[in-house]
Structure formats: C-alpha cells, structure tokens
Structure 1
Amino acid sequence: MNTIFEEGAPSERRRRRRYSEEFKAGVVAACHGSGVSVAAVALEHRLNANLLRRWIDQAEGRLPNGLPGRPADLQPSAAPAFVPITLETRSTHSAEIRIEVRRGDQTVTVSWPISEAVQCAAWLREWLR
C-alpha cells in the first residue's frame, strides 16, 4: 500500500491538508471517551497520531494555538526581555601559584605570586630540565 501519495496523478505533489476547527473539535472529543486509543482515532480519521495529540494538548490548554508544533518558549516574542544578573566579584582562588612536589616521604612546596606567573613558568621549565 502506497501511503506517500494521495489519490490522483502520481506526479502531483502532496499538499498540506487544512482542517476546520469543527473537525478538530470533533476528533478531539472522540478521544475523550473511556478506553479510547488516540492512535485508533487517528487511524480512523486518516491522521497522524502526533498531530492528533497536539490538537488534544491545544484543546486542553497545554499548548498555545500559535504556530503549529512549536512550544511556547520557541514562539517569537514581541521584544526579548533583558534580565540583569548580579555577579559576585569575590574570588575563591588564592592570589598565588602553589607548586607541590612529592618524592618518597619528602614534600617540597613553592608559592609564587600570581602577578609573576610568567617568571614562575620560566623557573619551572628550567627546574624540570
């Protein structure tokens, strides 16, 4: 069974189908019965089950009636809102470079001011040769 093309000439392109609000309301109402399968109702009306689920969500107010298939947070808004955020400038890191070398039971610790990081890197490079 070919489900890609509607009845008609095989060279015709599929066109998006439009449904009236009355038709949508009727199909959604058919889904509210006890023990009714949304997929069965969709098949009965030759609809995609996901489309019918979206109509149900829209009818129950869980989805806006805006652009089809787009959640509310993806809908274009009139103007983006600016929310100022206060950042803490306090640093939790110390203002020094600390190098700790362990060899056996001995430990050597070197503390270097962060403002002299370039000199610390040169010293460490020479020391590790």
Structure 2
Amino acid sequence: MDTIETKKRTRVRAYPAEFKAQLVAECEQPGASVAKVALAHGLNANMLHTWRRDAGGTPAGGKPGAQPEFVSLPLPAPTVPATSSIRIELRRGATSVAVSWPTDAADACAAWLRELLR
C-alpha cells in the first residue's frame, strides 16, 4: 500500500498594522538601528526593512527610488593674504635649501617642484 506524505505547512504570522507602524516609527528615531529594533522585538531585520519600504520610509527620509534634492550653498571666496608665500625647505645631509614662492604663482611653483623631484 502506498502512503502519501503530507508536508506540514508553515504558517506565516500576520502582524497588526499598529504594531508595524510602531516599529517603523522606532526605526525613524535619531540614532536608532533597524537591526536593534528588530532584535528587541524578536523579528528579522529584513522583515522590518520591508515594513519600512512599504510605509514609504527610507533612511534618508525620502520616497524609495527618489533622488535627493541638491541644495547649493553660497560660500565666501577664499582669501589669501597678499603677503603670504609658499615656503619649501629641502634638506639633504648637511645641505639645506629654502625657497619662497608667491602664492599667486602656485601653479608655477607646482611645475617647478615636479621637475625638481623627477
């Protein structure tokens, strides 16, 4: 006689919407970790990530897939005192050479230094 084996069906647990919302809100708190919140409630972090995605929450606070908005900030122009200079000091054994170069010619100083170090 042939016997048919039946597989035991695992039941997927359903969580109330209020519980999900509470955990998603906990994850949005400053300094909160999704993994810690999930562990504290005996859940897998992947499940909590899914709930956050379904709720529209992301770590950046925007919609999933949305690009963050670029915000341009005006910055003051860097000021270099007119009297400042680039000072390079080279030492080899007992010999020491110091060179001062005006900052407004920094590109020429860089080219000179590249040639010197070749």
Same fold (TM over 0.5): no
TM-score (norm 2): 0.37
Report 1 or 2 for greater relative contact order, CA contacts < 8 Å, sequence distance ≥ 6: 2
